[in-house]
Each structure stands twice: as C-alpha cells, then as structure tokens.
Amino acid sequence: MQLKWKFQIYKTNRRYRKLNKCNLPFGFYNKRKEKYEWVSYLRRFDNTSGYENNTLLMDALENICKVGLTYHYTINKDKNRENYQSHSHNFDSVLSELYNYPESFCIPKEYKDNYSKQELNFIEEMQKYLLFIGLKDWKNSERFNLVVEKLEKIFSKEKIFLKDKIKIAYLDKKAQKINYSDKLIRCHNERQAKYQNYSHLIMTKEKIEDILENRQNFLIYYLPFLNNDKNYSTIKNKYLLKDEDYNILGSIEVIDNKIIKFKDFEKTIGKSMKNFSNYKKDLKKLYKDFNEDNLIIYEKIKVLEKF
C-alpha cells in the first residue's frame, strides 16, 4: 500500500511538472481526465508535500487562505438516519444533496442565516421543480444492498484469506456497476422529458388564476431593444406558470404572437385588461424613455393543464 501511494504521488508530480511547484492555484486543463482544475503545490511539515487539485477555485482558495464557508441542512440518508443533520463547505455541494434528496432536503430555521436570500430563493425554486417532475430521494436498490451484505459478511471474519480478498475485489466492482446503473435509471425522467422545453413564468397567483380560468387569454411584453431591431421575430412557446412562492400551478401554450405598437394594443385589447392603467404606469416608471409608440410583444395563449 505504501508503494502504491508513493507511485500515485510520482504520477501526480509528473503530470503537473511544468507548473514548477506553483504555490497559488493555477488553471490547468487535465487532458487525461478531460476537465479543468485548479492546481497548487502545498508544502507540509509531515513530508507529504505535493500538488493538490480542485474542480472549484473556491475550494483551492480555502486551503490557501485558511477560510471557509459552512452550509447546514437536513436530509433523510436512510432508515437509520432520518432528518440527518449534515453540512457542506460550498454551495455546489449543497445543490448536490438537494438533487439527491429533494423530498427530505430541509434547511432548519436556525441555520437559514448560513445562506443569502438569493441562495434560499434558488434552493426553494429548484426543490419545487424537482418535486414537480416527481424526483424521489435517492435510495440504494435491493440488489445493491445484497452485495453490500455479502461484503460486510466477509469483513466480519476474524481472518481474511487471499480468496476472500479476491471476492472482495469482485463484489466491490459489482457494487460500483449496480450503483452506476441505478443512478443512470434515476436520470431518465418522463416528466422532465415532457416539460424540459417549457419556459417558466413567475407571476401573481391572482393573474395565474385569471389565465387558467380563461378570464385572460393573452400575455404582453415590453422589450426596449424591439424598437431598434425591426427584424426581431417572436417564437411560439409553452410556459409553466409559477406563483411568487414558486409553486407550479398550470401550463399554457402560445398559439399566436405578433409585435404591435403599445397604443394600438391599448385601443383594442388593453381596455378589457384588468389593472391596465397600473401596468402602464409601471412601464413608464421602469423605463424612462417609454412612450405609446413603443413596440410590444403580444401573445395569444391557450391553457394546457391545471395543477
């Protein structure tokens, strides 16, 4: 084992030899692994000095600057660890746990100050979408657990012989293959296949109810660049409708769209639009140069589903 470890260090040092033992993170493309990584040479007092690589620059800088972040959360790891309290040291790792355990992932109230408001909103919106497409908490399959039980039985022996070591290697490889297969199956989601090309619209619950109950059958957008781009073309689309708490309440499809002047819209459809005067005031407040000759996108819609 000692020889194997020394050989690994030799291979690592050889791979990064052109970096001349740089002591700050250097962006390096690892051709063998086909990925970008941050590499630096760390000198330690226990004679284990060597190159360290990190996928995230944040992780590399944490080791250099001796600082770090902590994000607390709870998940249901397994039957014996329900509401298991854990933590991560970067936001990407938090999202990894959310992805693996969307049903049980929770940030306790006392730890919400670990996160920024933007991060909390991001997590909430992502979690509700993952639940919407029916993604479940990750659980090891029965066939995987059977292999693990066989491994545990071997490790429980007082003495492990050569034939046991061979069997351990075989079972370990088998467990890895099963785990790979199970995770790949989880990544083929029928509802995601259905909704992956839907855009997401966030609006008030009241406005969504008007659309879903067919009290409003259109959407309008003002995009300032439209007035400078006469060749801009609209694209027919489908939307998932989210309220301000990111709950997905329905879906719609655009059946017709066109670019028209705001004043023409106001003369016809705008008069029947609820709170149109407030909408007009908001536009003028948000865009100082806005006037009634500006172009808007008008989309006629139909309801597809209510959730």
CATH, residue 252: 3.10.400.10
Residues 123 and 55 occupy one common structural domain = no
Query: Measuring CA to CA, which residue among 14, 63, 67, 57 is closest to residue 43?
Result: 63
Residues 104 and 164 occupy one common structural domain = no
Q: pTM for this structure?
A: 0.85
Per residue of the chain (307 residues), give pLDDT as tens: 567 777 887 888 888 888 999 999 999 998 888 899 999 998 877 666 788 899 999 999 998 899 999 999 999 987 667 788 999 999 999 999 999 999 999 999 999 999 999 999 999 999 999 999 999 999 999 999 999 999 999 999 999 999 999 999 999 999 999 999 999 999 999 999 999 999 999 999 999 999 999 988 888 888 777 666 656 666 668 999 999 999 999 999 999 888 888 888 877 776 667 677 777 787 788 787 888 888 888 889 999 999 9
Residue 194 resides in a domain: no
As given in the structure block, the two tokens for residue 211 are: 């659309």
Domain interval for residue 41: 2-65
Residues 108 and 165 occupy one common structural domain = no
Q: What is the number of structural domains in the chain?
A: 4
Residues 61 and 76 occupy one common structural domain = no
Residues 156 and 242 occupy one common structural domain = no
Q: Last residue of a domain, which of 49, 65, 81?
A: 65
Residues 44 and 17 occupy one common structural domain = yes
Residues 52 and 75 occupy one common structural domain = no
Helix, strand or coil for residue 159? coil
Residue 192 resides in a domain: no
Residue 230 resides in a domain: yes
Q: Which residues contact 224 (CB under 8 A, 6 or more apart)?
A: 287, 289, 294
Which residue do the tokens 């006629």 mark?
Answer: 300
State the CB neighbour count (10 A cutoff) for residue 90. Answer: 18
Give the C-alpha separation, 197 to 129, whole Å.
14
Query: Residue type at 45?
Result: F
